[in-house]
Amino acid sequence: MLFPFFTWSAEFVQRESGESIQAFAQSALPKDAELVHPVVEVTVQKSSHAVVAIYRDKNQSTNFSGLVLFPEEKSQKYRVTHLAPMKEADGLFDIEVKSVFTAKTKLHSNNGLVILYSYYRLGSGEEGGNAAYFYYLEGDSWKIDEGLSERLVDVKNAKQARAKLK
């Protein structure tokens, strides 16, 4: 009996010599996407120059998506990884990304990625709030740590977030 053999090929993008991280990240985004936060370089795992791009598909009404681009050793190539999607139902909240940074916790061996955002439930008339997602890398896949993300409800900045993550 024959069994099919499937391999997943990694996705890579090329960074041009002298290209800014903003222009580079923009070129790696899906066709109908726009950045919703300035691109940042962070230290994640063994990479001190991982590029994080948070974007919204122009056809997507409110939720954000994200890419983390890891440089390959001695190359202008970057490996593309995708953040796990937001849990909120798209279209229910006005979401504005406030800050993107890394944080260390005792629960994960490497720096996690934190996306702080403000939100307002559309049409509710209620006051908005602040929340965050804590992402961690497992293999080549970004996962959301629900417990750590819940700790970050109502935090307004990186200093407060890091204090709550200790």
List, in order, residues 6 or more apart from 44 with CB less than 8 Å away.
Answer: 50, 68, 70, 102, 110, 111, 113, 137
pTM score > 0.85 for this model?
A: yes
Task: Give the model confidence (pLDDT) of 100-153 as tens digits.
Answer: 999 999 998 888 999 999 999 998 999 999 999 999 999 889 999 999 999 999
Q: Looking at residue 109, what is its pLDDT?
A: 82
- Structure token digits, residue 62: 């409110």
- The span from the CA of 117 to the CA of 52, in Å, is 15
**In the predicted structure, residue 57 carries a pLDDT above the cut 90:** no
CA atoms of 26 and 15, how far apart (whole Å): 11
